[in-house]
Amino acid sequence: YTFFPGKPRWPQYNRDLTYAFQPENELTDVVKGVFTRAFSRWSAVTALTFTQTDSLADADLKIGFFVGDHGDGEPFDGLLGTLAHAFSPTSGRLHLDGDENWVVSSDITEATETSAVDLESVAVHEIGHLLGLGHSSVENAIMYPTIPSRTRKVELASDDILGIQELYGTNPSYNGSTSTTTPSSENEGDTVYG
Amino acid sequence: RFFPNITSIPPWLNATHGAWDSFRNLSGCHPGEKADGLSKLKNYLKHFGYINSSSNFTDDFDSDLKTAIETYQKNFNLNVTGDLDPETVQQIVRPRCGVADIVNGSTTMNSGKTTQSSNATHIHTVSH
């Protein structure tokens, strides 16, 4: 695991974080639920908590889908290429490329569609950046920058857990078990995202 | 574009190529060569932190590009050849997170870790 330079993290007095979605995206509850599950994977292993709020202005973490140049100096590039990006603490911005074909459910391993991207897999990865983790060279880690196509990769690996717990400590309810599962995939030879 | 499952994606969307597919044409390039598209690849590597230079990039496979590719290969557990071999190109074209691997020249991914060099295996001693 790695950290951003200077090891930025959310301060001790603000470990109960709120998140909100860009209102213009008009996301359905199903899509919002994907992010709720993604956040819960990180809160399960640390003392951090995440609560959804309707107020984007007041939220610590701001999630939105954008197309092309969206004003942060990091324009999206259309289908595939860059899928999403997020900023280090305490910026709180998580942006996803609205041009991708985001699959919301969990059956992406059945895909023949090479441009299909599993939303939860990318959400879990980007939340890691929001919390202060950089990219990892460990291939089964969530924080590895890419994953093969038709793959759902949402379980934190031990590398991810050790990294986030170095920043925020351990959730008292965490039983210490770490995932050693590999990404579920029907074809690991092809492309995709991270 | 949200799809509840994979079968709901219309077939015509499958025909579109990814943003970095043109890099596949660079497979097999070696240092010293010149090839259309290498300047675009240099911009890619700059974006993800592998090249610091901000000058206008040429299509020459120069030493800076070789060094950048070697660093990239270390970070992604590839054979460190400095060439654009097929395995490296295959990794480069994969869609990915837009956050740089190397931020402000610093990383603790593989390339930033201290490795034991061959020299380190020699223990210098003085006998008495």
| More confident of the two residues B116 and A53 | A53
Q: Which residues of A156-189 are buried (b: 16+ CB within 10 A; e: fewer)?
A: bbebbbebbbebbeebeebeeebeeeebbbeeee
Tell how far CA B25 is from the center of its chain: 15
Reply yes or no on whether the pLDDT at B77 is more than 90. yes
The verdict on a CB contact (< 8 Å) between B95 and A81 is yes
B residues 20-79 near A, CB within 8 Å? Answer: 20, 74-77
Confidence label for A28 from pLDDT (cuts 50, 70 and 90): very high
Comparing A49-53, A109-113, A154-158, A187-191, which segment has the lowest mean pLDDT? A187-191
Average pLDDT, chain B: 85
DSSP state of B34: B
Q: What pLDDT shows up at residue A108?
A: 76
Q: What pLDDT shows up at residue A178?
A: 53
Nearest-CA distance B18 → chain A (Å): 5
Reply yes or no on whether the pLDDT at A181 is more than 80. no
The verdict on a CB contact (< 8 Å) between A129 and B97 is yes
Using CB atoms, which residue from A76, A113, A135 is nearest to B14?
A: A113
pLDDT digits (tens, 9 = 90+) for A117-140: 899 999 999 999 999 999 999 999
Q: What pLDDT shows up at residue B118?
A: 40
Q: If you average pLDDT over residues A61-87, what whole number do you get?
A: 95
| More confident of the two residues B52 and B108 | B52
Confidence label for A149 from pLDDT (cuts 50, 70 and 90): low
Confidence label for A43 from pLDDT (cuts 50, 70 and 90): very high
Secondary structure E strands in A40-168:
49-52, 61-66, 82-86, 93-97, 101-103, 116-118, 151-152
| More confident of the two residues B7 and A32 | A32
The answer to whether the peptide bond before residue B71 is cis (omega within 30 degrees of 0) is no
Confidence label for A175 from pLDDT (cuts 50, 70 and 90): confident
The verdict on a CB contact (< 8 Å) between B18 and A145 is no
Reply yes or no on whether the pLDDT at A111 is more than 60. yes
Chain A CB contacts of B104 below 8 Å? 5
Q: Which residues of A67-86 are buried (b: 16+ CB within 10 A; e: fewer)?
A: eeeeeeebebbbbbbbbbbb
Reply yes or no on whether the pLDDT at A194 is more than 90. no
Q: If you average pLDDT over residues A162-184, what whole number do you get?
A: 77
Reply yes or no on whether the pLDDT at A187 is more than 60. no
Reply yes or no on whether the pLDDT at A45 is more than 90. yes
Is residue A126 flagged as an active site residue? yes
Q: Which of A102, A132, A97, A99 is nearest to A117 (CA)?
A: A102
| More confident of the two residues A170 and B120 | A170
Cα B4 to Cα A103, A185, B52, B108: the distances in Å are: 6, 19, 41, 37
